[in-house]
Amino acid sequence: MLVMKKIEPEMTYDLRHSILRPHQPMESCMYDTDYQEGAFHVGAFYEENLISIASFCAVVNEEFSSRKQYRLRAMATHEEYRKLGAGREVVNFAENILKDKGTELLWCMGRTNVQGYYEKLGFRPYGEVFDYPPIGPHIVMVKKLI
């Protein structure tokens, strides 16, 4: 059974590093937004093991008219547990928190190889594919919450 809860930023670093940035130093997984006011981090636990994480921060993308928006960053799920729906549950858990805050829009810069996954979660692509050095091609994905 999956258990969702808010976690401390430091708890996200190992999964961020192993899944998202394995060829970069651990410091590359420590974001300036981790301790920003309003930021929070969600983890999915399976048998007491942290298997999926995502971070959410109140970063305004000027491209969008809504000022009540949050950015999803650094979503990662341990490879061995990817068929449990943990990533979906992490996002659902966070969306409930965001809706309670009156957040209208959730957006992220997703890697193009997982664009389809974000679309299954209700996100839609916005704009063109762009390079995000040193990681590679990304696209902005957007989801209306209200």
> For residue 55, which of 83, 80, 75, 84 has the smallest C-alpha distance?
75
pLDDT tens profile 11-21: 999 999 999 99
pLDDT tens profile 87-142: 999 999 999 999 999 999 999 999 999 999 999 999 999 999 999 888 899 999 99
Instruction: Please list, in sequence order, all residues whose beta carbon lies within 8 angstroms of the beta carbon of residue 138, skipping any fewer than 6 positions away.
Output: 109, 110, 111, 112, 129, 130, 131, 132
pTM metric for this prediction: 0.94
Cα separation of 142 and 106, whole Å?
A: 6
| Residue 133: predicted pLDDT | 87
Mean pLDDT of the chain: 95
Give domain limits for the chain: 2-144
| Residue 134: predicted pLDDT | 85
Q: What average pLDDT does the segment 38-66 reach?
A: 95
* Percent over 90 (pLDDT), the chain: 88
Q: Which phi and psi angles does 29 have, rounded to 5°?
A: -100, 5
Write down the CATH number for the domain with range 2-144: 3.40.630.30
**Confidence category of residue 66, pLDDT binned at 50, 70, 90:** confident
| Residue 128: predicted pLDDT | 96
| Residue 146: predicted pLDDT | 86
